[in-house]
Amino acid sequence: MSEEGKINATLSEMGRYAAAIWPMLVGLSFSRMGVIVGGYGSYQSSDGGLFGDGAVLVASAVMVALIVIVAKRDIQLSDREVCLLLCVCASVESGALASLSVCSVRVIDSQQIRFLLCSLNCAAGSLSMLCWVWRIRSAGPKVSILFTFGALALSELVIFPCVFLSPAGGYAAAACASLFQLGLVRKSKEQPDVPTLDRALNRNEYLGSMRKGSSLLRISVVSGVGLGLMAIVVGLLRGFPDGSSIVFSRSARIGYMLLCVAACVVVILRGFSSRKRRSSVEIWIAVEAMAFLSLLLYAAFPDDLQWGAMVVTVLNAILVAYGQYLMLAFMDSGWRDPFYYCLGGWLVFFLPRALTRMLQMVTFGIMGNIQLMMVSIALFVAASGQVMTLMIMRTYKLDLDDSPEGKRVVLQGLMGLEVSPNNLFEVRFAAMRENAQELGRRFNLSDREIDVVALYALGFTQKRVGEQLFISPATVHEYVKRIYTKTDLHSRQE
C-alpha cells in the first residue's frame, strides 16, 4: 500500500472509531472541563493553589475510602450501577459549579465556602471522569488512545473560551457542560457495542511487546510506579520555586492550549501508525525531556516563569491522559473490578502531586534559595528517569531470558495484578494462544482467527467464543468455517 493509502486508511479507521465512541469521549471531556474551570480557573494560571491541589487532597480521602470498600468487599459493579453513579456525580458537579457562579455574582467573600464547593466539584468531577473511563473498559489499545487523548484535546478546546468569560460566566458554562453528561449517558447506551472495537486478548498491545505473562505484569507495575514519580516531579515544577501559582499571559495561555492539542494529535497518530504499541522507554524519555525543558525555561527566564509553567502544565495534562490509558491497560491485565483500577490510577497521580505541592511551600520556606531548589528538582527528575529506565530495561531483559517466569513482584498484589482464581482463564488462554500462533504462522491465520482457534481449543462453544471476543455467534461460525478451509481440518478434535 502506498504512503498516501496508509494515511487514508489510518484516518478512516480513526474516524470510524471516533464515530462509535463519541458520547463517551465528549462526556469525559465535559467532566474534565468542570474540574479545570471550577478548581483551576480555566488554567489562567499554572494551578488553583489551595482551591486546586487543596481540593484534590479532600477528594483523595473520598477515593481512598471507595477503593478500600471495593477491595475489601470484592465489589463487582454493573453497567447500570456505574451509569447511575455517573449521573449522580455529574449532577453534583453541575450543582457545585452553579453555586460557585452564584457566589461570584453575589461576591460572597468566604474562602471556606469556596473551598468546600471546589472540593465537592473536584470529587464529583473526578468520579465522573472515572465512570466514563469504566464505560469503555473493554476497548482495545487504539480505541483507548483515541478516547483518552482525544478527550483531553477536546476538553482543552471547550475550556479555552472560558478564559474570555467572567468567573461567574465560566462556572455557569462548565455547569451546563457537566449537566449535558446526563444526555450523553443515555446516548452512550444507544451506541452499538463500541468498546469492543480493536479488541484483542493480547495484553502486550498496551505497554509494549512481551513474550511472558509475568513480564506484562511487571511492565504494568513499572508504568504505575513511573506515573507516581512523575506526579511528584509535576508537583515540584507547577509552583516553582515556592509553591505559588504562576499566572499566564494571554499568549502563554494560547501557547499551552496549542501545545497540548498538538501533543495529543501526535500521540494518537503514533498509536494508530502501527499494530505494535510503542516502547514504554520511549514514553518516559519524552516525559523526562519535557520536565528538563521546563527547568531550562525557568532558568532562562527567571523573571518570567510563565513559559516554564506552560510546559509543565502540558506535561501534567499529558500524564493525566496517560494515567487514564494505564487504567484501561490495568483493567485488561488485572482481576479486580475495573473501578478499582480507576480509583487506584487516580490516587497514584493526584495524591503525590497534591502532597508535593503542600510540602514544597514548607520546604522553600526552609531553603529560601531558588538555585538550590532548582538543582534539587533537577536531581530528582534525573534520578526518577534513571530508575524508570533501569526498571524497564530489567523487565525487557527478564522477558528475553528463557528461564522460568520468576517471582511475583510485591506491588502486583496491591495493584490487583497477581494471578488469582478469577483470572486463571487468562493464563490458560495465553498458553493456548501461543500454540494457536504456531498454527497461524503455518496457515496464515489472522489475529482474530488465532483468538477463535485458542478459545475453540479450550472447549468454548461458538456462543461463548462470541461473548469473549464481543462478536456475534454467526460471525464466530464464519471464522470457524474459514479456519477449517485454511487448515484443511474438519473438527474441533483435529
Rounded alpha-carbon distances, angstroms, from residue 93 to 85, 117, 231, 245, 440? 12, 9, 25, 24, 50
Q: Is the pLDDT of residue 185 over 70?
A: yes
Question: Which string of DSSP letters, residue by residue, matches 59-82?
Answer: HHHHHHHHHHHHHHTT----HHHH
Task: Write out pLDDT tens, residues 382-437.
Answer: 887 777 777 777 766 665 554 444 444 555 555 555 544 444 455 556 656 667 77
Q: What's the grid cell of residue 283? A: 514514553
Q: What is the mean pLDDT of residues 222-232?
A: 85
Task: Write out pLDDT tens, residues 274-310.
Answer: 554 455 567 778 888 899 999 899 989 988 899 999 9
Asked if the bond preceding 192 is cis, omega within 30° of 0, the reply is no
Whether the CB-CB separation of 73 and 339 falls below 8 Å is answered with no
pTM of the prediction?
0.79
Q: Which residue has the higher pLDDT, 433 or 438?
A: 438
Whether the CB-CB separation of 257 and 343 falls below 8 Å is answered with no
Bridge partners (DSSP) of residue 45 are: 247
Task: Write out pLDDT tens, residues 346-376.
Answer: 999 999 998 888 787 766 655 567 777 778 7
In the chain, what percentage of residues exceed pLDDT 70?
80
Q: What is the mean pLDDT of the chain?
A: 81
Q: Is the pLDDT of residue 474 over 80?
A: yes
Q: Which residue, 221, 220, 131, 230, is CA-closest to 182? A: 131
pLDDT attached to residue 476: 85
Rounded Cα distance between 429 and 227, Å, is: 30
pLDDT attached to residue 132: 95
Q: Is the pLDDT of residue 208 over 90?
A: no
Q: Which residue has the higher pLDDT, 279 or 232?
A: 232
Q: What is the mean pLDDT of residues 141-156?
A: 92
